[in-house]
């Protein structure tokens, strides 16, 4: 996501001024040449007539000047001169328009910043509740003007019971009330509010969303796994460079993991999602995997068992070989969008606190990923809690995420991994803005 709020500079605007009648500019030259073509000088027989006309014009000008000068001398405090007709009341002149300095004109009828259309995207996942509110900027980009994120663990206990727990639903509803207030305080042109795996899988998922509508005033839709995979791809389009031939994009969620294979060897269209040649959604995420294997105390044997569990699920994915022709190419890479890969990136950079600007778009080579996974597997729970890029909220989930990552790398080995701190919400915003046509006229008139 780009949050720059600047458009392409429009052509410089010139100032048009009327030229004085005797100017020697190009227009004056053309005027002189046109008359010269008709003879240039007056005929001798017209000399006396021309002098008479000139004297009459001078007398008329002198008369007007004397009359105006006398009126100015006699009139005082706005009163007309004696014998002079009172002037008709004239409206006050309009104030000059305010000067605009240093502001490039936007191409097309771009409204002022405060009038730009506002779009919103909400993603209620198994682990997080996230909201983004944004306005469009340059083509394919937008600027975030409000955001909200809270870990609610909606899917807590879902694996064991098949239902959303009361405490988990209460946490989610409180977070959604905050989102509802943010949305109602703005004039939103279009919004899309989605719920993913926890509400898909839970027996009481629809019932929970009815409660959300009653208490938070928000109507959420449960999207299917294919839509979830497409939105994840749409949100990461700007991180795939023009010369890329193939990408395996994965989104490791709380309750499921979406994987999309993207083939770019042919003609590339504007939407990255158009190049998905195969996709799958594994019904396993960091919350569900950690609940089955344990997240606080993870031995190397436990970690290996988690990797093998996910790898077995990937073996049943029929489309996993659709990128075999580009796997050996240096223009193939993995692209991860999830808390797992952003956490690994933060640890890799040894950040004192998480910084999205340094993480989003970061490239990690194979050896760096190996080292970070090995480091995290070697830490105990308290060491993971103490790391500022993990903390107490993720300390019992991060190794489950690493296990899913390792299983993916086993099927699609790559020398490079690109990290994306973006995903479904950005994909929703990109699609809403594109469908609304806010970027349609970009570039015209430049």
End-to-end CA distance of the chain: 25
Query: What is the β-pairing status of strands 257-263 and 246-252?
Result: antiparallel
- Evaluate the CA torsion angle 230, 122, 6, 439 in order and state its sign: positive
User: Which of these, 89, 92, 93, lies nearest to 78 by C-alpha position?
Assistant: 89
Please count the residues of the chain.
446
Per-residue model confidence (pLDDT) at position 267 = 87
Per-residue model confidence (pLDDT) at position 152 = 96
Query: What is the β-pairing status of strands 416-420 and 128-136?
Result: unpaired
Query: What is the β-pairing status of strands 416-420 and 363-365?
Result: antiparallel
According to DSSP, the residues that pair with 259 across neighbouring strands are 250, 280
Per-residue pLDDT of the chain (446 residues; tens, 9 = 90+): 333 333 332 222 222 223 333 333 333 333 333 333 333 333 344 545 555 655 656 655 554 433 333 333 323 333 333 444 444 444 444 443 332 223 222 334 445 555 899 999 999 999 999 999 999 998 888 999 999 999 999 999 999 999 999 999 999 999 999 999 999 999 999 999 999 999 999 999 999 999 999 999 999 999 999 999 999 999 998 899 999 999 999 999 999 999 999 999 988 888 889 999 999 999 999 999 999 999 999 999 999 999 999 999 999 999 999 999 999 999 999 999 989 999 999 999 999 999 999 999 999 999 999 999 999 999 999 999 999 999 999 999 999 999 999 999 999 999 999 999 999 999 999 999 999 999 886 544 33
**Cβ-based neighbour number of residue 254 at 10 Å:** 30
Per-residue model confidence (pLDDT) at position 300 = 96
Predicted model pTM:
0.71
**Cβ-based neighbour number of residue 349 at 10 Å:** 15
Distant-in-sequence, close-in-space partners of 233: CB < 8 Å, separation ≥ 6? 249, 260, 262, 272, 273, 276, 427
Helices (H) and strands (E) in the chain, counts: 16, 11
Per-residue model confidence (pLDDT) at position 59 = 52
Per-residue model confidence (pLDDT) at position 54 = 58
Domains, the chain: 114-236 (3.30.420.40), 239-421 (3.30.420.150)
Distance CA 302, CA 292 (A): 11
């Amino acid at each position: 996501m780009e949050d720059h709020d600047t458009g392409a500079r429009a052509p410089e605007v010139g100032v048009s001024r009327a030229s004085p009648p005797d100017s020697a500019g190009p227009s004056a030259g053309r005027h002189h040449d046109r008359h010269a073509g008709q003879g240039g000088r007056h005929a001798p027989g017209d000399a006396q007539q021309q002098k008479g006309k000139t004297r009459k014009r001078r007398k008329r000008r002198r008369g007007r000047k004397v009359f105006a000068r006398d009126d100015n001398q006699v009139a005082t405090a706005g009163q007309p001169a004696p014998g002079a007709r009172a002037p008709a009341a004239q409206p006050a002149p309009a104030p000059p328009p305010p000067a605009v300095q240093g502001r490039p004109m936007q191409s097309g009828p771009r409204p002022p910043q405060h009038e730009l259309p506002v779009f919103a995207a909400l993603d209620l996942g198994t682990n997080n509740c996230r909201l983004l509110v944004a306005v469009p900027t340059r083509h394919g980009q937008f600027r975030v003007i409000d955001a909200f994120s809270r870990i609610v663990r909606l899917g807590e206990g879902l694996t064991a019971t098949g239902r959303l727990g009361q405490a988990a639903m209460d946490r989610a509803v409180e977070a959604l009330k905050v989102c509802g207030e943010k949305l109602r305080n703005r004039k939103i042109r279009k919004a899309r509010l989605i719920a993913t795996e926890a509400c898909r899988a839970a027996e009481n998922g629809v019932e929970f969303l009815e409660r959300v509508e009653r208490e938070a005033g928000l109507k959420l839709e449960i999207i299917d796994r294919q839509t979830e995979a497409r939105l994840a791809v749409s949100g990461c389009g700007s991180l795939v460079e023009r010369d890329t031939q193939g990408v395996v994009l994965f989104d490791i969620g709380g309750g499921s993991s979406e994987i999309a294979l993207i083939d770019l060897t042919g003609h590339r269209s504007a939407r990255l999602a158009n190049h998905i040649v195969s996709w799958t959604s594994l019904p396993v995420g960091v919350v569900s995997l950690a609940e089955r294997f344990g997240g606080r105390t993870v031995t190397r044997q436990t970690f290996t068992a988690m990797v093998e569990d996910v790898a077995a699920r990937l073996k049943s994915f029929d489309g996993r070989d659709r990128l075999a022709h580009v796997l050996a190419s240096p223009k193939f890479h993995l692209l991860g969008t999830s808390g797992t890969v952003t956490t690994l990136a933060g640890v890799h950079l040894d950040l004192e606190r998480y910084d999205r600007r340094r993480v989003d778009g970061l490239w990690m080579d194979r050896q760096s990923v190996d080292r970070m996974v090995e480091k995290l597997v070697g830490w105990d729970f308290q060491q993971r809690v103490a790391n500022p890029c993990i903390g107490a909220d993720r300390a019992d989930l991060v190794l489950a995420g690493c296990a899913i990552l390792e299983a993916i790398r086993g099927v699609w080995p790559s020398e490079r991994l690109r990290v994306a701190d973006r995903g479904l919400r950005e994909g929703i915003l990109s699609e809403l803005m594109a469908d609304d046509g806010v970027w349609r006229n970009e570039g015209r008139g430049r």
